[in-house]
């Protein structure tokens, strides 16, 4: 398993976990920082960082996809009776994506992806 595969698995596992945690009933005991907006920021920060390492050549599409994903979560929450959709949450998601991109940019400068990690299998 290449490092690139590990990053991709981390990205998709985190995206699925974030979706489930975002739509779970609030009565459930969920991991939290204690402030809702920081939860959003951290979740999308991690998604952006993992995604950029797993998909280094799809930066713009990944950025747009993550911002849309944050909006989709808010939309889905509006259909539940136990969650509330908030614009501020979506903004926290987008700021997290931007910060994750900043980290991704720094990591690419410090430890660029190895060519063998980004090649497609024959």
Structure tokens at 4: 């690139």
Cβ–Cβ < 8 Å for 61, 68: no
For residues 63 and 85, give the distance between their C-alpha atoms in angstroms, rounded to a whole number.
21
Specify burial of residue 99 (Cβ count, 10 A radius: 0-12, 13-18, 19+).
Answer: middle
**pLDDT at residue 122 in the model:** 47
**pLDDT at residue 120 in the model:** 46
Residue ranges per structural domain of the chain: 35-116
Mean pLDDT, the chain cut into blocks of 10 residues (122 residues total): 86 95 77 79 94 88 96 94 89 96 82 58 48
CB proximity list for 95: less than 8 A, separation 6 or greater: 41, 44
């Amino acid at each position: 398993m290449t490092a690139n595969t590990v990053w991709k698995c981390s990205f998709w596992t985190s995206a699925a976990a974030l979706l489930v945690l975002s739509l779970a009933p609030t009565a459930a005991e969920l991991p939290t920082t204690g402030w809702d907006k920081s939860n959003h920021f951290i979740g999308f920060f991690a998604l952006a960082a993992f995604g950029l390492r797993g998909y280094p050549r799809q930066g713009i599409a990944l950025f747009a996809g993550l911002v849309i994903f944050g909006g989709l979560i808010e939309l889905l929450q509006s259909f539940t009776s136990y969650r509330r959709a908030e614009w501020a949450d979506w903004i926290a998601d987008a700021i997290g994506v931007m910060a994750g991109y900043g980290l991704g940019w720094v990591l690419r400068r410090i430890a660029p992806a190895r060519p063998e990690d980004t090649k497609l299998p024959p």
